[in-house]
Structure 1
Amino acid sequence: MHVELREATAEDAKAIRALVEVVLPATYDQIDPAYATRELESWQVEDIPDALEDGVFVVGEVNGRIIALVSATIDDRDRFVMTTLHVHPDFQGQRLGSRLLTEVVDLVDDKALWTRYPEGDDNAAAFCERHGFVAEVVDDPPFPKQVWARLDRD
């Protein structure tokens, strides 16, 4: 199976929404269903084209079907943050997440790359650890605590 990685476009909005409708509940419902719902609400089809202009969005596509997404942006603290890394459950375990991470890391140059995930997401924690991220901070928002992890680029 060949997965093509490419920059997301506004025409991908519905397919991106369809992807997150599958991935978010599958990933987060066991941790906190309210968190999954809140995250899903941030992916409205009509908002996606504008969001694509605010950062880097790369999709993974198989036979015209979007099966993965990574996004990154500069946050209000001037950190380069990988905000999304989603792979459809049917395609997990094939190192696609690693390929998507590489796409983002290649853009960072010598800056640190940050990401976040809810405390209790053992898959995200293991993925980050395997790729050299170090947990730095645990925030305490109204939903599950957020673990911030940093990957230093030397």
Structure 2
Amino acid sequence: MYLQEKACERAVGMQSFMESDQCLEDVPGATITQEMCLQTHEQIARRVKTLADSTDIHHVFIASDVDPRLSYIKKKLGPSMNVHYLNPSDAPLDLAVMGRADYFIGNCVSSFTAFVKRERDIHHRPTEFFGFEDAVLPKKNRERTEL
């Protein structure tokens, strides 16, 4: 079992865990679900497909610290979608691409996602989270003091 899986097992049902405030602080009484913390490849493919079907995107960039199962995701998204992934991963480049993308779906509890969300908020770009289907969360106009 991956460390991330163990952490998510404990996080489910909590109101705050790691960087979850980035997606839960504006939802009174909300608690962390399994899908917010650790998504399956099916959930990732389904959410990206939903976004792709409602927009005009044809390129998807996947950043992951675990096996992204690209062949599975490519099959689920279909031949018209170009799926990109850096192997090996390059964290600074991943952050740059995700921060500047037209659309971004991140992991609710991830500190990596938190860096991306802060950049996107500054530039007024939407951020969505797995586990919040079809919801674009409001941007806060407040100063963040942490890095």
Q: Do these two structures clear the TM 0.5 threshold for a shared fold by scoring above it?
A: no
TM-score (normalised: structure 2): 0.33
**Greater relative CO (CA pairs within 8 A, separation 6+):** 2
TM-score (normalised: structure 1): 0.32
The structure carrying a bigger strand percent of its residues is: 1
